[in-house]
Structure 1
Amino acid sequence: MGDRSDRETALSVQVKEGSSLHSPAGSIPSAGGTSSVSWQVTAKPDGTLTGADGNEYSYLYWEGETDSEYDVSKGFVVKGEDSAQFLREKLSYMGLTPREYNEFIVYWLPRLEANAYNLITFQGEAYTDSARLTITPEPDCLLRVFMAFKPLARPIDIPEQELTPFTRTGFTVVEWGGCELK
């Protein structure tokens, strides 16, 4: 018998508020809840999801508010106009596929390009602790990419953040997102 990555798999997915996530707002497909969002979906080997509503989705979407303290002591200062190439390079290195990083870029590029420069950091525990993710059955591999960025009028000096590449093995779940720091 093959692993879950080569057949349809029924999944329960929940994002629950952690120490600093407040009232997750919108979700697609609709998932409701005041302190969490949850979905029952079927995942196909190609990554396509079928929701409990019978509709097909490329991904699950949710948004919420947080008062997390993100680490901006290391990162990257990127010209707004260079954001697409920067993201393509870094997101690919971290393990996103072209389809995944292109969706990320389409979503975030207008906000990044609108600024002369951006301080861009990729968050770890500060994010994962604030938005706890539970998937049943558990995936073999889980990649959570969360970008925090701050618009800058001019470049600043900051140590470069070290990123870690991700290797997919078996049933893999990928989550990506971000926020603008004020």
Structure 2
Amino acid sequence: MPPRPGGTLTDPATGREYYCLFWEGITDAEYDFSTGFCVAGEDTAAFLEDALDRLGLTEREADEFIIYWLPKLEGNPYNLLSFQTEAYTSSAVLTIDPAPDTLIRVFLAWKGLDAPVEVEPQKLTAPERAGFTAVEWGGAEVVQ
């Protein structure tokens, strides 16, 4: 589906317009929790609002991320959260044609915890949005 100005996608077969695509899969990616954040379940929404802003998501994009993931996170006493974009992008190759000027991929790996743990804070940065920007977000619970 070719993207259109304003961020919509139009299915050429049906003419139906979409504002996003959804996909899910299984991966054997290994996630590194040596940096990240330990956040109380009740503080997760506020944490995600700040973190997703620092990663370059718009308010709408962050809202959609939070609407999807918050119910899975806020019921835990604590969560170990780590944005794993590098590990994720190497295991989930993405091809967009035409290629975007800016690509933002946000992937949150997390573990529910009963008690807090110490973890080195992760540095969060965002690319500068310029021109045609594509955004992909997702996540996975890591159970051990």
Q: TM-score per shorter chain, which class?
A: over 0.9
Please name the residue that 2:137 is paired with.
176
**Alpha-carbon offset, residue 55 of structure 1:** 1.9
SS of aligned partner of 2:65: helix
Structure 2 distance, partners of 1:158, 1:125, is 19
**Alpha-carbon offset, residue 57 of structure 1:** 1.4
Higher percent of residues as strand = 1
Please name the residue that 1:46 is paired with.
6
Structure 1 distance, partners of 2:57, 2:28, is 27
Please name the residue that 1:160 is paired with.
121
Does the CA-based 8 Å contact 2:2-2:97 persist in structure 1?
no
Higher percent of residues as helix = 2
Larger radius of gyration: 1
- The percentage of aligned residue pairs carrying the same residue is 57
**Alpha-carbon offset, residue 97 of structure 1:** 0.2
Does the CA-based 8 Å contact 2:56-2:127 persist in structure 1?
yes
With normalisation by structure 1, the TM-score equals 0.75
Structure 2 distance, partners of 1:165, 1:127, is 16
Structure 2 distance, partners of 1:51, 1:86, is 36
SS of aligned partner of 2:2: strand
Query: Which 5+ residue runs of structure 2 have no aligned equivalent?
Result: none
Structure 1 distance, partners of 2:119, 2:15, is 48
- How do 1:25-174 residues align onto structure 2 when only pairs under 5 Å count? 41-52=1-12, 53-174=14-135
Equivalenced residues, count = 142
**Alpha-carbon offset, residue 44 of structure 1:** 2.2
Instruction: List structure 1 segments (4+ residues) > 3 angstroms apart after TM superposition.
Output: none
C-alpha RMSD of the superposition: 1.0
